[in-house]
Amino acid sequence: MKFFDENNQPLDIDQLKKELRDLKDEPIPTESDLESDLEAAYQQGNTNVTGMAAISFLGIGGNLLKKIRRAVCAVVGPGSSADEIIDAILDELVKLIPGGFILKPLVKKIAKFIFDKGIGAFCAGV
């Protein structure tokens, strides 16, 4: 599992988790923002792994977000700690993004979205 900052520099996972616990000054992303960012991350990961430009699949960002929702909600719930939710997000992203190269801005957006919505509302209907 490899995580990178905005400048593609490797991140310490413990430092990343610390930052994810305090996102109060981060803007709240929309579901469309997440879908676009997930699609871009998937395509970049695929390019990194294959060495070829990735083909864009219509709706892949939305499908990835659904997979994240199902996976996170399968292991956490309203009584879960922030650390448990963060671990669930990170575990699933590593499985979904080819090569496991995850950028901090994407992780922050997903965490902010879930924490702002509340895990109960995020998981409603799963």
Domains of the chain, by residue range, sit at: 28-123
Reported for 41-49, long-range contacts at CB under 8 A and 24+ positions apart, including other chains, are 41/97, 41/102, 41/103, 41/106, 42/96, 42/97, 42/98, 44/101, 45/97, 45/98, 45/99, 45/100, 45/101, 46/98, 46/99, 48/98, 48/99, 48/101, 49/98, 49/99
Which DSSP category does 103 fall into?
E
pTM here?
0.87
pLDDT tens digits for range 10-47: 888 888 899 999 999 999 999 999 999 998 888 887 77
Task: Please give the pLDDT value at position 58.
Answer: 65
